[in-house]
Structure 1
Amino acid sequence: MNATLGSYLTAWLAAYGVDTVFGIPGVHTIELYRGLAGSGIRHIAARHEQSLGFMADGYARVSGKPGVCFVITGPGLTNIATAMGQAYADSIPLLVISGVNARGKLGSGDGHLHELPDQHALASQIAAFSHTLTAAAELPQVLARAFAVFDGARPRPVHIEIPLDLMVAPADGLPPPQTPAMRLLRGPAAPAAIERAARLLSNAERPLLLIGGGARQAAPQLTRLAEMLDAPALMTINARGALPDGHPLALSCSPSLPAARRLIAASDVVLAVGCELGPTDFDMYVDGGFRLPGALIRVDIDPEQLCRGRGADLPLLGDAKETLQLLTLRLTNAARQGAERADAARRLAAAEMEPENAADLAWLHRVRDILPQARWVGDSTRLVYAGNLGFCAPRGNSWFNASVGFGALGYGLPAAIGAALAEPDRPVLCLAGDGGFQFTLAEMGTAMETRARLIVLLLNNRGYGEIKSAMRAAKMEPLGVDLYTPDFPALARAYGWRAETLALATPEPLLRQALEQAAAAANPTLIEIEA
């Protein structure tokens, strides 16, 4: 074979169907690039490892494939750690492959380049597992374990570190990659559990579906099940669009809103699918007001999650898509006023919404109606917060952001680039604020290099506006929240982007013209929105 372990790794990645790697080459990873050139695997070079991880996250959510990252020892791993934490919180599959100092020098404290006391221990806190290769022959098995997590368990980051002396070791004599590599197939929950769930749901008078991000790939099955039960389907932030906008049973509002909470509390049987039931969705305002008194059936791939928070009265351990297919076969159509219940909750949620949130949400829906094919990727910013309360996504997996869970600022731009690379024929709208955008604005260069089909809608209030409001609400003098901001349109043009400035109150014809021109442009576009 006459190959090093670095090039052997590339051959295995190709066997697993990897077609894109996100990386920043360094002296500790150049051996990984020996096999990458000419392999057919596309390499995307970011400007910073945190952005690199966010790009891989956005790519993974859209493509359905793990986001694969190459990072150097030490600072490469510490830089990508934030992105790994976000992916861990949101159950996104990332494969992070890093270098580490040579065997015999690990954690020596002698001051080797990029040395950490225990790099493996750091990574293990934000990964399903972290593995340090001790011999070249371990590589096929550890890759198989990584893809087993991605395919058969709750998908989360996996970290593999390769000592520098092993990276250049000969791979001759190692078994050639199995092409295609073996992959696990997920299965449904146990038949007895599905039968019990069917009986509970069939006897329910006011059933309700709670849909989480873990059910993203089961949109047709969710729609069919909701229709069979005639049950409202309340979609959390990462599940928006699982039932399409306009469906009478679709309910795109935050379960932290009073109207949604009343609907949940009044339901006698709740089926939660791929749903963490976590506080950033269900107790956003930290008031402890979420109640679920009815019977709770939970479908999840993670056995521990079935027992966290509000534990299930009936847990169904299995793949959402496979489980819902079998469950639907055991149900019969029934009329339960599901559409009326959903409509009432919708109208009450709109009536109870604060005026600024309602206005921002109306603006988002105007943009959606102009570009109905667009995917939305958000940072932590005012427009995203409003959208999380009630944005009606036109289809599944077309609205996601980093404002919940781990809540990392700077996510929006790089994740939107990753999403655009995964599906280049569809425009991506990135919602960002001027504060968070400055975390990763250097990735405008990556977007230009890759010709990402990207439109950034940048709300500029010249600082951390939401934190400033929180300080004032807490009767504090705002400090550290008013920022010097650059001329964003000029900066965008310096990177080769198109750019213009609009206001939230821009008339419909001008807004439509700006968005349609941006969607048709060859280069990315930044539209600064004056707050």
Structure 2
Amino acid sequence: MSGTTIGEALVAKLRQRDVTCVFGIPGVHTVELYRGLAASGIRHVTPRHEQGAGFMADGYARVSGKPGIAFVITGPGLTNLLTPMAQARADSVPVLVVSGVNKTASLGKGLGHLHELPNQLGLAITVALLSEQVSDTNALDPVLDRVFHSLTNGRPGPVHIEVPLDVAAAEYQETPAETRDPEPPVDPAMITHAAKQLTEAQNVVILAGGGAKRGEAGLQALSEALDAPVVQTVNARGLMHGHPLTVPASPSLNAVRALIDSADCVLALGTELGPTDFDMYATGQLAKMSNLIRVDRCRDQLARHKAALTIQGNVNVVVPKLMEVLPHEAKQSEGANRASETRDAAWEEIGPDYRHQVEILNAIRSAAPNALMVGDSTQPIYAGNLYYDHDRAGGWFNAATGYGALGFGIPAAIGASIADPTARVICIVGDGGAQFSLPEIMAAVDENLPVTFVIWNNHGYREIASSMQDAGIAVTGCDPSPPNFAATAKSFGIPFTSVPAEPQAVAQALRESVVLDGPSLIEVTAPKFEPQKD
């Protein structure tokens, strides 16, 4: 790479690491990163805001299984990306953010340079797993080694690299790769211990989290061997669709808590047991988890909840090892009946409004089978997070849990579509949340992506308005006027239709949209929330 700049070398080395797409908005502080980009074979997608770049990288990573990459400028480019980085951190999504930074000699001196921050590295590390600077011409290789090791070992999340302006334009000097310790091997004694505990138990329940979403076949085999119902968190939805042992319902529901309480052994696979999944009603307590066995890649995570046994390791490695030592004869413990009774009770528990919205989701699933369904914080997504059985592993995800960032849905759906161009992507957002990132639809137009944007228009923030009213607070600030979505779609140059919030009407609109090339927009008109008067 003689005569190659650091910026060019960085792009080339990303391509060597199987990076095929970056999301970014070029600026004067990143032009050197773009010097070699056009010839690299890496696709560049231009969002309309740096936050969109981060959420696109997130959606791309969730679907592809590879790190999503975002290029942003110094200062405001990075600060605009902090929210997507925090969402990725909460949901264990591998995202690499590459930013510029001012010239090395100026850093930390407060001289008033363009886009200057007091400490950009320090700011990024508040949400990143790792934040590194390419400090000189021979630092690129060690930095890339460290950040990609972080992205691919242990619990994934966002990482950050900054390249000073003077270094980006300097000549690259190759440095030998550093040796990195691999993930520790799974302890065979722990596998044997866990298998013994699971074999002796009479009523096992499995809790499947996002760490299990790429291991559907192993999870199904394990659940059948143990005759154990499988409760899915939001990030695990789509696993074992329609299976008699699946429980696609929130572990915060009383019906699901009762199932977990009745277990004499609980096996938690790749879930942090966080309150947005396990205690969304803020009771202050999780369900009782007798003889809890936890499997997670993160040692720190395993220490956060008391358990009878913890196994550090990738769920997709641990589950096959468990199958090797479990008895060949499947356990008989009425697992299918327990799961069925829980599903029925959970369905009744969510109430008629949410049941109606889940029926709309079911109609969407029927109209567009095996789609990627990406969401934001809006009523049908809340309903689906409580109870919905998607038909594609890893095909249901949204930002209504964990960090809970509005504006996620539209750009994340774009990233998801780029990750799997063969899939239909259905993006479900509310009229309020859509206004956080509505311009990003133009990126879908630019890239001609098969994304159907479904906007649930109830003219405001219904969930917040309901919470205010329930708390005895005068409903204030919850009715921002939505734009004319028909006119908006026309300005974007994409097909538009508006339908009532009824399952068959929405399904028909979906059927018409999925045969189209490129993006389209469907407005679902729902009743506006009207506060009760004294």
Quick check: TM above 0.5?
Answer: yes
Q: Distance in 2 between matches of 1:493 and 1:408?
A: 28
Aligned partner of 1:18 in structure 2 is: 19
Residues 185 and 218 of structure 1, relative CA distance in 2, 3 Å threshold: farther
- Return closer, same or farther for 1:398/1:185 CA change in 2, 3 Å cut-off: farther
Q: Distance in 1 between matches of 2:468 and 2:402?
A: 22
Q: Distance in 2 between matches of 1:514 and 1:160?
A: 44
Which consecutive aligned stretches of 4+ in structure 1 deviate over 3 angstroms post-superposition?
181-188, 510-513
Alpha-carbon distance in 2 for matches of 1:30, 1:312: 51
Q: Match of 1:283, as an amino acid? A: D
Report the Cα distance in structure 1 between the residues aligned to 2:481 and 2:261, rounded to whole angstroms. 46
Amino acid corresponding to residue 137 of structure 2 in structure 1: A
Alpha-carbon spacing, 1:183–1:253, altered in 2? closer, same or farther (3 Å): farther
Match of 2:251 in 1: 255
1:523 corresponds to which of 495, 514, 518: 518
Displacement of 1:183 in angstroms is 9.7
CA contact (8 A) 1:376 1:400 kept: yes
Alpha-carbon distance change, 262 to 126 in structure 1, aligned in 2, over 3 angstroms: same
SS at match of 1:439: helix
Structure 1 counterpart of 2:298: 302
Any idea what the Cα deviations from partners look like across 1:222-252, whole Å, max 9, x if unmatched?
1110011010000100001222x21000110
Select 2:395's aligned residue among 368, 376, 398.
398
Q: Please state how far the C-alpha of 1:150 moved relative to its aligned partner.
A: 1.6
The whole-number CA distance in structure 2 between the counterparts of 1:482 and 1:352 is: 28
After TM superposition, the structure 1 = structure 2 runs for residues 469-484 of structure 1, keeping only pairs within 5 Å, are 469-484=466-481
* Alignment partners' CA distance in 1, 2:370 and 2:210: 20
- Give a deviation string over 1:381-400, Cα, whole Å, max 9, x none: 11100000011011210100
How far did 1:406 drift? 0.6
CA contact (8 A) 1:360 1:383 kept: yes
Q: 1:518 to 1:185 in 2, by over 3 A?
A: farther
Match of 1:514 in 2: 509
The amino acid of 1:466's aligned partner reads: E
2:168 equivalent to 1:167: yes
Q: Does 1:273 align with 2:264?
A: no
Identity fraction in percent: 47
Residue pair 1:444, 1:492 contacting (<8 A) in 2 also: no
3-state DSSP class of the match of 2:496? strand
Equivalent residue, structure 2, for 1:63:
64
AA matched with 1:256: S
Q: Give the SS at the match of 1:208.
A: strand
Q: Find out whether 1:30 has 2:31 as its counterpart.
A: yes
Partner Cα separation in structure 2 for residue 61 and residue 128 of structure 1 = 17
Question: What corresponds to 2:309 in structure 1?
Answer: 314
Which residue in the other structure is 2:462 paired with?
465
Contact persistence 2:201–2:264 (CA under 8 A): yes
Q: TM-score w.r.t. structure 2 length? A: 0.96
User: What is the CA–CA distance in structure 2 between the aligned matches of 1:379 and 1:120, rounded to whole Å?
Assistant: 29
Contact 1:213/1:274 (CA < 8 Å) preserved in 2? yes
Indicate the SS of the match to 1:79.
helix
Q: Tell me by how many angstroms 1:351 deviates.
A: 1.6
Kept in 1, the 8 Å contact 2:506–2:524? The answer is no
- Unpaired runs of 5+ residues, structure 2, are 527-534
Residue aligned with 1:81, SS: helix
Contact kept, 8 Å, 1:187 with 1:323, in 2: the verdict is no
* C-alpha deviation, 1:413, in angstroms: 0.3
Secondary structure in 1 matching 2:267 = strand
Equivalent residue of 1:234, what SS? strand
The equivalent residue for 1:146 is 147
TM-score (norm 1): 0.96
Q: 1:83 & 1:409 partners in 2: Cα distance?
A: 10
Give the equivalent residue in structure 1 for 2:356. 359
- Candidates 218, 221, 228, aligned match of 1:221: 218
Equivalent pairs, count:
523
**Contact 1:188-1:319 at 8 Å conserved across structures:** no
Partner of 1:327: 322
3-state SS of 1:25 partner: coil
Please show how residues 78-117 of structure 1 align to structure 2 within 5 Å: 78-117=79-118
For 1:303 and 1:174, locate their aligned partners in 2 and report how far apart those are by CA, in whole Å. 34
Shift of 1:186: 5.5
Q: Which amino acid aligns with 2:145?
A: A
Which one-letter code corresponds to 1:465 in the other structure? Answer: R
Which 10-residue stretch deviates more, 380-389 or 456-465?
456-465
Unaligned residue ranges in structure 1 (runs of 5+): none
- The question of whether the paired residues in 2 share the 8 Å contact of 1:151 and 1:185 is answered with no
Are 2:78 and 1:77 equivalent residues in the alignment? yes
- Corresponding residue of 1:3: 4
Q: CA deviation at 1:311?
A: 2.2
8 Å Cα contact 1:496/1:523 also seen in 2: no
Residue 106 of structure 2 aligns to a residue whose secondary structure is coil
Q: After the TM superposition, which residues 123-134 of structure 1 pair with which residues of structure 2 at under 5 Å, given as runs?
A: 123-134=124-135
In the other structure, the counterpart of 1:504 is 501
* In structure 1, C-alpha distance between the alignment counterparts of 2:231 and 2:469, rounded to whole Å: 33
* SS across alignment from 2:31: coil
Question: Which amino acid in the other structure matches residue 365 of structure 2?
Answer: R
State the partner residue of 2:529.
Answer: none
Distance in 2 (CA, whole Å) between partners of 1:263 and 1:87 is: 30
How far is the alpha carbon of 1:496 from its aligned partner?
Answer: 1.2
3-state secondary structure, aligned to 2:440: helix
Query: Is the contact between residue 141 and residue 174 of structure 2 (CA under 8 Å) also seen in structure 1?
Result: no
Task: Return the letter of the residue paired with 1:276.
Answer: E
Please name the residue that 2:437 is paired with: 440
Q: Which amino acid aligns with 1:142?
A: V
The 1:406/1:45 distance shift into structure 2, 3 A limit, reads: same
Q: Name the SS for the 1:28 alignment partner.
A: coil
Deviates more, 1:278-287 or 1:471-480: 471-480
Q: 1:319 to 1:108 in 2, by over 3 A?
A: same
Cα RMSD after superposing both structures: 1.5
1:269–1:296 contact (8 Å) kept in structure 2: yes
Deviations 1:249-302 (A, max 9, x none): 011000000000000011011010001100000000102242224100000000
Conserved in 1, the CA contact under 8 Å of 2:500 and 2:506? no
